[in-house]
Structure 1
């Protein structure tokens, strides 16, 4: 049986097949070899697009205002070798087949992520309303939790023809996917995740407390309540493409992916000499952050960086957070249509906070002599910590605890607090769950924390589409198809998980970056191979369904 991948459902295109085809993604005319393409942002979308454009003979120039790698940010603990905190993306579903193409090409090792109730976690503690439950599998929990899990499965089946849709994705049956998905778009675009749950017959038959437990704990990676106000379409995409299942983490940190790709010399490359890398084409370092984008009279686009260095480019790819085009980068208004500006400005970003500590060893594997249980477990709770994850780096390295991974209101509670106070609050919460365990005595080194909404280059963790935002997403996602745009709007492209249908998942960044590559190939006068059709070739027939205005 074929495996589920992030194949649609809005635009069912096999990006993994496209990037692995022996013919390559496409071709540029000789006159476009060496064409300069500005890439704003060094995250997954920017570096992957730059890498693929370099292979085609273009010259990508990367601008970065903050830390290299964007939200693939692995911060090392000081004084330790290879011990990191994953501040951005940290768990990557195997359905992200485009992303894993690059992971495997670069030789990066991955392991199962210690999510709740998985073998990788070992054990899980769910602490709600002052009562703790220890479990290794769902069957170990009280029947109420199993009722919640079954109710959500039934709600998905009844409300989204879930099994049939997943099978169509497995089969990569475009027509069947669209037959099922397009009516769901029209039905659920303007309705929330909570509406889906509360109005389902499966949950109506249960108590409010069941819905409360589902919000606090959920199943898969943890609680869902921070997503309750979001469009149900966004949650359905995550569920049906198994983004919330079979997740892995990158040994040594996911930040290796953009950094190694930056230094990677592809075997097959056009125009450039063998051994060329993105790093070499960029003189060994990215440009400073872009502060101005404008169209020149010759039709090219000029980018000015923060040191007032101005360069002109044949094309531009913008991968930074969309709000930065309005508040941080002086962007010429005529480069985008007004309805696209509306979509970019109305995009809503979610808050997120994480706090990590390094500990001397994986002490949580010690056995309580009285109960025989692990002295500490992966923990889901309604307390301030919300999710606590445990990372065993092996017997020869210190281990890491993500003390708290929280969203929205829970993340805003700690926003003004220094890292030491965040650690104290997290330890105080966990002391109620593990009253006989002295976690503090195992901490070594300095803690690490992040609040993405407090970073001026991000202003939030990732997009969280609200009801009614489907049309906005369609404008952004489909912008790479530029044949019908007026000349003043062509040549500037958008990519990143915020442009995709799957925000917060790196596969969305990969797919939109590849859309942009296809658009740039066409913009520079290139084309595609009949044996390996591109997103541009498939979009007219299989693109997302439009909704009436």
Structure 2
């Protein structure tokens, strides 16, 4: 649902993830018929290491292969990274989305690849969304029940909160003008507004933005509290209250919190299908070549050491079984903390300023608990109240967000009993799947006292805490106040001409390197940055009619704040 009330945007260009920090047309670059560039003939077939087979690694590998490189992908765990669709045992096509599960249509780079591999999408059942039959908001045991979508259906308190949030964005961030510049891809207008907002809000929290806004100051504390618990778009915002306000502004101005869709059959399909996709246009490689065929079917083992190859000047990569291979260039897509905890990475490969940025990156915790049920019983009406028996639920109880996934009448369906972040996720960290389910069922019984959810559960529950996974140590980045400079260091690292030779050749990608952490589009965009960086390092060129991110970097670079 739109953050700005009663605004007709139907006649305007669509909002895309165009900037705002680095407004480059990634979607147009990758879809241009001229291709991303040309590699010199004597460099065709050169191997490039890619560490991590998540979305960023697979996208980078796919585009490098098309250019004529031979990407060599390493993976320590499971292909897909945080696009992880876990199947329920004993049921065909029923799964739990443990990582990314909702993808805004403004992510045009991401949707390019979704279209390339032919994945169907459908609206995600977010709170107050058209795809959600009903939403129940339960706060301090007071309930607000809404059927359908739109602000017009909101109870007075929630409408007041929504209006205050819209007013805060307009007053504190010149929201309409900023988003219009994004819509039109008007770089001068966009940079003129955004570059002023960066120093204004980098060192201030999201909560400071809300609390200091005149539109919220005119309301009660209860309004700010409800906004934190319920929010608008994808739900509650209070887990993000300590974050830099810039993190939130990027989300809302590029419409990442609305217009979200899910991938039919599971998000993990995307990297797996790209792995097997044979592009129609390939340099150097014969028709039918795919990443899978270049790897004899599977990625190489996980990486334990990254070092400078002193003899050849490149990068030496050692896998878990002790095999060391040497490359002129390598792309790292794993969480940055792994470079100081799980991978022995030579300090000389990065400057100390960049190491500071990588190490200070702050990852947010996240936990989900899913059960499979015998049918979508929530589509039935309660005979007494006339309401749906169960709704998409936002609450201040430990479940926080409960989502309902309908696979059709009388077919096994899925309930995400709980999706929580930060302190709420930490509360369940020591608990196994069964204890988590019992805890969540107990909380939901207080919300729906007449509904026996447990009687519908079939199969085994599925749960995840990303912070306990040694390959991730957290769900996604959430920059704190003062972290803009760190973010800029990481994002701009693909521009390496000014670096000393000892720090060249190792490139960073992944949503944690992007300005939009936690969103798949950030993984796509940073992967494409590294593709340009590797092409440039090997003497390749983009086409004049289709310049890449490095070609236009100086004109649209993220604002550089003073040290």
Instruction: Give the alignment's TM-score, normalised by structure 2.
Output: 0.97
| Corresponding residue of 2:67 | 56
SS in 1 for 2:455: helix
Q: How does 1:267-346 map to 2 (within 5 A)?
A: 267-296=280-309, 297-346=311-360
Shift of residue 341 of structure 1?
0.3
Shift of residue 371 of structure 1?
2.0
- Which of residues 121, 139, 161 in structure 1 aligns to 2:152? 139
Q: How does 1:37-56 map to 2 (within 5 A)?
A: 37-56=48-67
- Which of residues 433, 457, 472 in structure 2 aligns to 1:458? 472
8 Å CA contact retained: 2:102, 2:260: yes
| Corresponding residue of 1:449 | 463
Find the aligned partners of 1:177 and 1:139 in 2 and give their Cα distance: 31
Q: Is 1:80 aligned to 2:91, yes or no? A: yes
Q: Is 1:23 aligned to 2:23, yes or no? A: no
Cα offsets for 1:112-146 (capped at 9, x unmatched): 00000112111000000011111024433321111
Q: How does 1:140-179 map to 2 (within 5 A)?
A: 140-179=153-192
- Which of residues 137, 148, 151 in structure 2 aligns to 1:126? 137
Q: Is 1:387 aligned to 2:398, yes or no? A: no
SS in 2 for 1:536: coil
Shift of residue 395 of structure 1?
3.0
Cα offsets for 1:37-71 (capped at 9, x unmatched): 11100111000000000000000011111111000
What's the Cα RMSD here?
0.7
Find the aligned partners of 2:204 and 2:331 in 1 and give their Cα distance: 33
SS in 1 for 2:550: helix
8 Å CA contact retained: 2:47, 2:71: yes
5+ residue gaps, structure 2:
1-11
Q: Is 1:471 aligned to 2:485, yes or no? A: yes
Find the aligned partners of 1:444 and 1:31 in 2 and give their Cα distance: 59
Find the aligned partners of 1:539 and 1:394 in 2 and give their Cα distance: 48
8 Å CA contact retained: 2:376, 2:411: no
5+ residue gaps, structure 1:
none
Point out the more displaced range, 388-397 or 487-496: 388-397
8 Å CA contact retained: 1:83, 1:397: no
Shift of residue 171 of structure 1?
0.5
Shift of residue 295 of structure 1?
1.0
8 Å CA contact retained: 1:389, 1:402: yes
| Corresponding residue of 1:438 | 452
| Corresponding residue of 2:16 | 5
Instruction: Give the alignment's TM-score, normalised by structure 1.
Output: 0.99
Find the aligned partners of 1:20 and 1:418 in 2 and give their Cα distance: 45
SS in 1 for 2:551: helix
Q: How does 1:154-303 map to 2 (within 5 A)?
A: 154-296=167-309, 297-303=311-317
Q: Is 1:499 aligned to 2:510, yes or no? A: no
SS in 2 for 1:221: coil
Find the aligned partners of 2:410 and 2:115 in 1 and give their Cα distance: 25
- Which of residues 72, 76, 92 in structure 2 aligns to 1:65? 76
Shift of residue 369 of structure 1?
1.2
| Corresponding residue of 2:124 | 113
Find the aligned partners of 1:75 and 1:395 in 2 and give their Cα distance: 22
8 Å CA contact retained: 2:48, 2:71: yes
SS in 1 for 2:223: helix
8 Å CA contact retained: 1:77, 1:358: yes
SS in 1 for 2:176: helix
8 Å CA contact retained: 1:85, 1:356: yes
Find the aligned partners of 2:345 and 2:154 in 1 and give their Cα distance: 54
Find the aligned partners of 1:140 and 1:3 in 2 and give their Cα distance: 25
Find the aligned partners of 1:395 and 1:538 in 2 and give their Cα distance: 52
Find the aligned partners of 1:377 and 1:368 in 2 and give their Cα distance: 12
Find the aligned partners of 1:9 and 1:141 in 2 and give their Cα distance: 31
Deviation beyond 3 Å, 4+ runs, structure 1: 137-141
Shift of residue 393 of structure 1?
1.1
Point out the more displaced range, 7-16 or 295-304: 295-304
SS in 1 for 2:178: helix
8 Å CA contact retained: 1:134, 1:140: no
Shift of residue 259 of structure 1?
0.2
Shift of residue 524 of structure 1?
1.0
